Amino acid sequence: MLLLIALSGYFIYRAIRPRIIGRAVAPDGTEMCVVQRLSDGPWFATGFYYRRPGQRWHWMYYGHEDNYWGRSRVTVDTNAGAVVFHRGSTPAITFHWATETYFHHRRQTITANGSPMPEGWEPSGR
C-alpha cells in the first residue's frame, strides 16, 4: 500500500511540474525541446521550444488540451537540417533549424519563427 501511495505521489509530482519530454542539439548549437506542463483541468499544455546559441528561447504551439506525453524519441537528420520529435512511433513535430520552420504533423500546419520567451526563461521551469 505504501508503495502505491509513493508511486502515485511521484506521478503527480512529475505531471504538475514542467517536464522536458524530448531534447536535441543541432550541429550549429541550436537547442530544441518539447515541454509539457499541467494546464487547466485534466489536460496538459505541450509546446515546442528552441534557441540559437547566445539567444533567448522561442516557443511554438503544439497543444493546450493534450494528453500526458511521457517522453519523445528524437531523430536528428543533419543532411536535411531537421529534427523529428516522435510521439510513440508517430512523428509529431519536425523542425528545420536553419529556417526555424516548424511542422505540426497532426494538424498538418507549418509555422516559421516562434514567439520569443522572456529573457532568462528556461524550459525546465527553474
Within 10 A of 78 (CB to CB), how many other CB atoms are there? 10
Supply the pLDDT for residue 5.
Answer: 66
Rg (CA), the chain: 15
Give the pLDDT band of residue 7 (cuts 50, 70, 90): low
pTM for the model stands at: 0.84
Q: What's the pLDDT at 40? A: 75
pLDDT tier at 124 (50, 70, 90 boundaries)? confident
The more confident residue out of 3 and 99 is 99
